[in-house]
Every structure is written in structure tokens, then in C-alpha cells.
Amino acid sequence: MTSIRPFAGPLLIVCALLGAGHALAADEFPFDRELLLDAAPMKPGKRMPILNVAPNGNATIGLWCKTVTARVEISDAAIKIEPGPLPDALPAMMGNGQCTPERMQADQDLLAAFAQTTGWHMQGTTLLLDGVKPLKLRPASN
């Protein structure tokens, strides 16, 4: 009678390594994806904040009214976001009255929250940014 036991150990090791590789892939930073801020919409308007980070660290942050460029440095679970300044002009696609004083203040607050981010981790497909004000971003579904 032959026993399969001698092969069980190496087989378990291979399965464990494959599983670990899969777990690491799930925790990779979601580069080149539109990540939508998980927040209630702000009226008037339908625009929602979006973060998009390229593998080279160049990023765009679409805020409630305006969009800024940023530089992002990522290592393991640490992240540093250095946003550019808010532009003076409103985006051409914004209609009159869409950028209320409340939305413009929200732009400044959100930009400050991104600048104070210190860590990141994935929870499923959701990116969680740690900092003074934690931010939750999920892949855009469009």
C-alpha cells in the first residue's frame, strides 16, 4: 500500500506560498485607478472627489470643485501625499452656483486631509488612508 504522506508537506508549502502571493497581490496599491471618496454627495452638483495615482507617483486629486496635481510617495504601509496648490480658476465644466462657499471650504479641508495622510491599507477593494482625518476611497464604478 502506497502512502501519499511524504508529498503532503511539500504540497502544503506550495499551497501556502501561492496563497501568500495572492494575499500580497490583493494588498498592492491601486495605481492608475479612479478612487472615489466614500462620502455623501454635496449639493448642488454631482461631482465627487477622486484620487488617481500613477505608478511613478504623479497624481491628480479631483476635489468638490477644483482639481489639483500631487506627488505621492508610497512604501509598504506608509504614504506621503504632497498636493499642489488649489488653482484660482474654477473648472470650465462647473456651472454657475455649483461651487458654493461650503464646497470651496470642503476643497481646502479635503486637500489638508490628503496632505496629512501617513499610512494606507486595503480593505477588499477599498483604499483606507490613515491620518488626522481618515479617508476611505473605493474604485469608481463607471
Q: Which pLDDT band holds residue 13 (cuts at 50, 70, 90)?
A: very low
Nearest-angstrom CA–CA distance, 60 and 68: 6
Nearest-angstrom CA–CA distance, 61 and 90: 14
Give the model's pLDDT for residue 95. Answer: 65
3-state secondary structure of 20: helix
**Highest mean pLDDT out of 15-19, 21-25, 128-132:** 128-132
Q: What is the rounded average pLDDT of the residues 24-46? A: 86
Q: Could you tell me the pTM of the whole model?
A: 0.78
Mean confidence (pLDDT) of the chain: 83
Q: Which pLDDT band holds residue 16 (cuts at 50, 70, 90)?
A: very low
For 17, other C-beta atoms within 10 Å of its C-beta total 10
More confident call, 2 vs 83: 83
Domain-wise residue ranges, the chain: 31-139
Q: What is the rounded average pLDDT of the residues 34-54? A: 93
**Would you say domain 31-139 falls under CATH 2.40.128.270?**
yes
Nine-digit cell at 23?
494575499
More confident call, 5 vs 106: 106
What residues contact residue 14 under an 8 Å CB cut-off, 6+ apart? none
Q: What is the rounded average pLDDT of the residues 86-104? A: 81
